[in-house]
Chains A and B, each alone.
Chain A
Amino acid sequence: MASKNLKLLTNPLNNENPITVQVLGICSALAVTVQVKPALIMAISVTVVTGFSNLIIASIRNTIPPRIRIIVQLVVIAALVIIVDQLLKAYVYDVSKKLSVFVGLIITNCIIMGRLEAFAMANKPWESFIDGIGNGFGYGLILVIVSVFRELLGSGSLLGYQLIPESLYQLGYKDNGMMILPPMALITVGILIWIQRSKNRKLIER
């Protein structure tokens, strides 16, 4: 892979992270990070959808009338998500049940439209596809980090397995109920942004 393309894939993980730098997709980052498992499912779904909607839009970018481009983008995203959802419902019913609540969230996820508008409308299909996948990963990375903290401190478990031993609870340790609530997700994201910017001063706005 050319180094330019590799950059498209790795930049969103850090310096151009969709959540902590572009501040897109915060809404779903708050909603699905109570536990690690839904966060992972959401991350995978968003990665697939950003990748392919970027690919489709980049392929037809020169034909799209500029005045209705947002509508065209939205139609492509919505159609893609619904077709995938129908396929899952027919062939992998269990996964589709887990995704149920997220399907709507994927369509309205600002990252997807943000990448279509900022990248796919001006670049070739292959680069756009890689950019979409990279941004999906960057989004997923933050989602997983936030959900690890929230599930571990809020429920004492990871991926549903109890990690904090029973003996600790008997000593008086209690799960922090605040972690389950959305405000703590916002604060966790805030702390991540803080850590990232203190390490990488280029990101600090003047």
Chain B
Amino acid sequence: MNVQSNSYTFIYSSIIVIVVATLLALAATALKPAQDRNVEIEKKQNILSSVRVNSTRENVQKLYDQYITDSYTINNKGDKIKGIDPFTINLREEIKKPQKKRNLPVFECIINDSAFLIIPVYGKGLWGPVWGYVSLVKEKPSRADSAIYIPYKKIYGAIFDHKGETPGLGAEINQPFFQIPFRNKAIFNDKGRFISIKVVKGGADPSSLNEVDAISGGTITSKGVQAMLDTCLISYQTYFKSSKK
């Protein structure tokens, strides 16, 4: 057969496209359930590690059922919306909407009589999406303190991850040295205004209310984390302030 001829070239390319497409489609559909399960397990592990609970792939379901007491969807006024599963909300779509229309997932967690809210966050890094989970601890009102009482004001734990940030630079946002400084930072100031968290270049003051260190060489990713926390958490501010729960 003449491999140089036009008809051969056309037939050859059609066959190779069909064979490869079939292989890829088979691989994608056959492996989808296993992949989805991995994603679900990872999400639950992430939710738990934001309240400083370490889990393995094996015990994650048990721990999740034990600590996560409730989960629901709210709007930006803090009212619950029925019929939307908070676990499957696609945050990428939600953050594009105006604040009033967003469906906001909330996970409630109780560990040793302390109550926590876990909020998923989603934003843009340098090369692709970054996301994470932030947990806020409920504080009791103290009389001596003249500051305005906000029950969920303090971050208890935060974890972040990314799709494709630069290894060794922006990718370090999933490392403890970046995440641990977020603990005990406040997202409201003493006057009750939402201030979110700021990443600071060249050394954050440890005593500061809401500043953490950025990553050297990973400035755009660090700024992305800052913007992500701001855009995502701001919609919840009414909910955090109200002490309904």
Binary flags per residue of B22-57, CB closer than 8 Å to A gives 1, else 0: 011001100100110010011000000000000000
Q: A72 near B16 (CB under 8 angstroms)?
A: yes
Question: Which of B9, B31, B41, B167: most chain A Cβ within 10 A?
Answer: B167
Establish whether residues A66 and B3, one from each chain, have CB atoms under 8 Å apart when the complex forms: yes
- What string of 1s and 0s marks CB contacts (under 8 Å) between A31-72 and chain B? 110110010000000000000000000000011111110011
For residue B31, give the distance in angstroms from its CB to the closest CB of chain A: 4
- Which of B8, B167, B171 is A65 in contact with, Cβ under 8 Å? B8
* A34 adjacent to B23 (CB under 8 Å): no
Instruction: Please state if B163 and A181 are interface contacts (CB–CB under 8 Å).
Output: no
- Would you call B16 and A75 a contact (CB within 8 A)? yes
Q: Are B31 and A89 in contact (CB under 8 A)?
A: yes
Q: Which of A79-87, A136-144, A195-203 contacts B (4 or more CB under 8 A)?
A: A79-87
- CB of A71 within 8 A of CB of B217, answer no
Q: Are B3's CB and A90's CB within 8 A? A: no
If the complex has contacts A72-B16, A180-B168, A180-B217, are A87 and B4 also in contact, measured as CB distance less than 8 A?
no
Interface string of B67-111 (1 = CB under 8 A from A): 000000000000000000000000000000000000000000000
A100 interface residue, CB < 8 Å from B? yes
Query: Separation in Å of the B175 CB from the closest CB of chain A?
Result: 10
The reply on A161 being an interface residue by CB < 8 A is: no
Answer whether residue A155 sits at the interface, using C-beta atoms and an 8 A cutoff. Answer: yes
Residues of A within 8 A of B (CB): 31-32, 34-35, 38, 62-68, 71-72, 75-76, 79, 82-83, 86-87, 89-91, 93, 100-101, 154-155, 177, 180-181
A-B pairs, top 9 by smallest CB distance, nearest first, are A34-B168, A90-B34, A90-B31, A93-B38, A101-B164, A65-B9, A38-B167, A79-B20, A86-B27
